[in-house]
Structure 1
Amino acid sequence: MNAHANLTGKVALVQGGSRGIGAAIVERLAREGAAVGFTYVSSEVNALELQDSIIANGGKALAIRADSADEKAIRQAVQRTAEAFGGLDILVNNAGVLAVAPLNEFKLEDLDRTLAINVRSVFIASQEAARHMNEDGRIINIGSTNAERMPFAGGSVYAMSKSALVGLTKGLARDLGPQGITVNNVQPGPVDTDMNPDHGDFAQTLKGFMALPRYGKSEEIASFVAYLAGPEAAYITGASLTIDGGFSA
């Protein structure tokens, strides 16, 4: 474990934590000393491997199967984490979906699912988590630089969902400030994951939009999240903070 563990004694829940950016966040928070619950839907093998790896290294982790489109499952995941580890201090809303299609072909069910997972689940998880948090609680939403810039066709619904998090973050910061809970929104640019690999079909195009001509690493996003979850970020709230290699510059 990290000798400079800033989150020792803290309890975290990461929505969507079995792979990619979410898994990197789970690993980083655990390394910083937090007990971490995290949800998954289909990647059970990955989720259990991650859970077991953290425990084998002396940490505390709990993989929870929960569909972020299901209100009851979200609330139960918050409750299970709080019961398993004795409270809740940090919520990271990382679950997300991406549907891209021309406007005249975009299916309404894809719009509904995008809003359900990218926006509605953030509200539900935050509402439930705030009931368990004491002062110095942290809610961290994972948005997207596409809230600021959508440079290609077909991404309007995704951009809308991530723009909604900007307003939701500001509003929740006002709602929860009196309780001493901070709420912030991290907006990554292109990050090398299974969903959007740095050698994929869109990689060269996306790199052309950026000031730094490379994809980000999941660990770079996780380090930013860990900072916001830690004691040094106690005066930051209601902010949307971009980490995108200059994509939106």
Structure 2
Amino acid sequence: MKVALFLPCYVDQFYPKVGIATLQLLEKLGCSVTYPLNQTCCGQPMANSGFENLAHDCNELFVNNFGDNYDAIVCPSGSCALHIKQHLHSDKREGDAVQIRSHMYELTEFLTDVLKVDQLPGRFPHKVGLHQSCHGQRGLHLSQMSELVAAPYSKPEKLLNMVDELELISLDRKDECCGFGGTFCVFEEAVSARMGIDRVEDHIRNGAEVLTGGDMSCLMHLEGIVRRNKLPVKVMHIAEILNQG
């Protein structure tokens, strides 16, 4: 498949190893991956803060970068992927914007729904706790919400269970928000920090050696809490774990 890789700003600037792991994983699974070099922010921070009109140039640039005929556009972030799927528009190339919206996938969504991966040649001998981010869970439906009376499922869990020797731990509150919330952590920093502490403590209390998830923004928030408090857990993006083979 011809795949375009979309990396969120914070992955590009602060966590390039996540982008590299995503690229390597997709190539191992047989994809021909292109990384449009002129890509920048998707415009989500402005839109989330009520200034979607200021994201106009971001939208046009995104369409210019990803408007080619790709089979899929893959992003290792549920929040950025959801923003593009729901909010991307273009005054000049709306037809291409519609095409992009219909071909945008979060990484684990792409692996399970499009590539239909049923085995991964990896080994990761650690106890792992999965943080299911709100955008991925409630927006992209990557996993079932615990408040619904319905059969449980989780696309990230399904993939993690394919990795040899990886033990997925159970959490007391498996789909609780970490408190990051984009600009929420700036305007309500005390509440955000408390929510993050609760989320990390749930993982540690249940024996996690590694805390993982599909959104590096949430993991960045949780890793800050881990580092400041010198807590005994490592934070890794799910792409880094799935790429272990």
Instruction: Please give the TM-score of this superposition, normalised by the length of structure 1.
Output: 0.34
Instruction: Please give the TM-score of this superposition, normalised by the length of structure 2.
Output: 0.34
